[in-house]
Amino acid sequence: MFRKILIANRGEIACRIIRTARRMAIATVAVYSDADRNARHAMDADQALAIGPAPARESYLAIPKLIEAAQASGADAVHPGYGFLSENAEFAEACAAAGIVFIGPPASAIRAMGSKAAAKALMEKAGVKLVPGYHGADQSEARLAAAAAEIGYPVLIKASAGGGGKGMRIVAGAEEFSGALAGAKREAQSAFGDDHVLVEKYLERPRHIEIQVFADQHGHCVHLFERDCSIQRRHQKIIEEAPAPGLDAATRAEMGEAAIRAARAVGYVGAGTVEFISADGAFHFMEMNTRLQVEHPVTEMITGLDLVEWQLRIAAGENLPLAQEALHIDGHAMEVRIYAEDPARNFLPAAGRIRHLAEPAPSRHVRIDSGVREGDRIGVHYDPMLAKLIVWDRDREAALAQLRAALASYELVGVHNNLALLRAIAAHPDFAAEIPDTGFIARHPELLAEAPIAPPREILAAAALHVLAARDTALQAQSAASSDPASPWFARNGWRLRDQAPEDVHLASAHGDHAISAFWREEGAYRLVFAGGDTVEARGLWQGARLRLTLDGQETRCSVVETEDALVVLAAAGEFRLHVIAPDAAQAEESAGDGRIVAPIPGHIRSVLVTAGENVARGQALVVMEAMKMEITLTAPFAGRITSIAATIGAMAEEGQALVVIIAEA
């Protein structure tokens, strides 16, 4: 077995690999970019080496730097994780040339499956059924458009060299094809350095089912059953489960055998995933990912196995730990991916500092794979996935109950995230009752609707107690600094010459202003009088941001987190953003749209599609940005004329920076 391994990755996957290596008494070496100097994975490893600036191409994608780091650290092997160079044949070959074991398949298998087009041709020869499509070398727009017409709309344009939803577009008709093709090629080139695409029939209401396979260096190959990955956004998975709901034993066996044929066809070694799309009772080969998958924990939860341990043992030359007949499914598991993104803004990646993080307690039923900590800053250079929440129980119904409970206790403040969406999906009756398919989120737009409820009185009370506690702290500081600290003017009981005076707390939410008068009772206790006369006796006990709140004898738990511009209260009723208004503050008026098109998040300018003085239509594409491995197209909010352009191709735009200015048509 290896003595020391270098992990050529970052974030939650690096932390997860470190966990298994430590259990197996294998030393670990982390690598980090300038942006990740204090990242969790760099702190968790036994050793950490700097490899370059924040941009991935200068650090995590720089093969010479990774090989140099592996040699300098004395590592026996390199684990590539997933993403970055995990499916890069040149990296596997560079490791071999340096005398370092690559914990993954041989370069030949990576190459065979690295191109979706080549892989489909290979699978067709191996007798694995394909989705109708064009996978040829002629990449001219005319040939691709003709292929789309032959296949019949709707079609799917997909990057040949990658995955994760990058370089992918659904095209409903011929009039959309040219623009969709250009966008897919741009995104594919940016993400994978290769703009080749393929065109396939887009199947209505398909399921995305994948089979986990493992092969050793001695000719043995097994499958570890299937995962359903149908709940997706932007063609990228956000919820996975195993086993696949509604899949009968015969189909499971047939898909498993097809996956093993696919692995054997390329001389596969190590962990891999064969992905199928299923519709109308049939399944078709999509692609093979020659690496460990983000969703591998659900397979671990239903088999009781550690797939990273299997990877390490196979790479060290050992036989597969178990034969096919020894593998069994136990219970049901679900995984949700927690992203720094804003679902209400078309899942736009988000950046910011994590002000508060409270994760569910791990147990036999609940597992957290995380790469972040409270206080970490989430930047724009890498994929926005922060963590994974995985649950297990005896069947799907019980596992779903575990998921709902775990999501309810997951708290994350400081950066936009998709927790509310995940909770909404888990609570939706159709998710519990139906067999999932890839169109689930699109069919249920209510999942993305922003319809905040008015903050109930326990939320307002929690926020008020937070404000009052902060005032108490400030008053104590003033008293300590005073020449007369015993002065009654520093009393914390609202003392005045004639009567106890209330403290006023003014809050604002999306539903209006909320005025509260607070009368001090004793330490941590107040009588709160709300606008309209509703009165409640409130008592709070604090532990950090966590508040044990008692209202008229009824106890509830919540958290109150202060951010740069708001108080965020998290409770069973939901997440509420409140603003504290100074008593003499003037109400600010929202300014009308002024025609400035601003960068929604920090990112690089990839294309400027208009010129100054040009007349544009409402919805016309103006600028294409790239941030967090995603292409973002900024469009005109109304018809008008471009008066100025500040966007420069290749430049880095800061959040809120004006890139284009439009004046409306007279």
From 291, 337, 367, 423, active-site residue: 291
Domains defined along the chain, listed by start: 4-103 (3.40.50.20), 132-201 (3.30.1490.20), 210-447 (3.30.470.20), 457-580 (3.30.700), 596-664 (2.40.50.100)
Report yes or no: 239 and 335 within 8 Å, Cβ to Cβ: yes
Q: Is the dihedral of CA 23, 29, 33, 37 positive or negative?
A: positive
Tens of pLDDT along 512-555? 889 999 999 998 899 999 988 899 999 999 999 999 999 999 99
Where is average pLDDT lowest: 171-175, 281-285, 354-358, 386-390?
A: 281-285
Where is average pLDDT lowest: 247-251, 470-474, 637-641?
A: 470-474
Which residues neighbour 302 within 8 Å (Cβ) at sequence distance 6 or greater? 225, 242, 243, 329, 330, 331, 332, 333, 392
Q: How far apart are CA 126 and CA 261, in angstroms?
A: 7
Q: How far apart are CA 434 and CA 400, in angstroms?
A: 13
Q: In this predicted structure, what is the pLDDT of residue 666?
A: 60
Active site residue 23: no
Q: In this predicted structure, what is the pLDDT of residue 102?
A: 98
Tell me which residue of 298, 297, 261, 266 sits closest to 276, measured CA to CA. Answer: 261
Q: In this predicted structure, what is the pLDDT of residue 497?
A: 42
The residue that leads in pLDDT, 59 or 166, is 59
Tens of pLDDT along 599-634? 887 888 988 999 999 999 888 889 988 876 567 888
pLDDT at 591 over 50: no
- Per DSSP bridges, beta strands 525-530 and 535-543 are antiparallel
Q: In this predicted structure, what is the pLDDT of residue 564?
A: 78
pLDDT at 590 over 80: no
> Model pTM?
0.82
Which residues neighbour 586 within 8 Å (Cβ) at sequence distance 6 or greater? none
Residue environment code for 541-556, b if the CB has 16+ CB neighbours within 10 A, otherwise e: eeeebebebbbeeeeb
Q: In this predicted structure, what is the pLDDT of residue 645?
A: 94
Which residues neighbour 650 within 8 Å (Cβ) at sequence distance 6 or greater? 604, 605
pLDDT at 380 over 80: yes
pLDDT at 581 over 50: yes
| 3-state secondary structure labels for all residues of 458-522 | HHHHHHHHHHHHHHHHHHHHHHHHCCCCCCHHHCCCCCCCCCCCCEEEEEEECCEEEEEEEEEEE
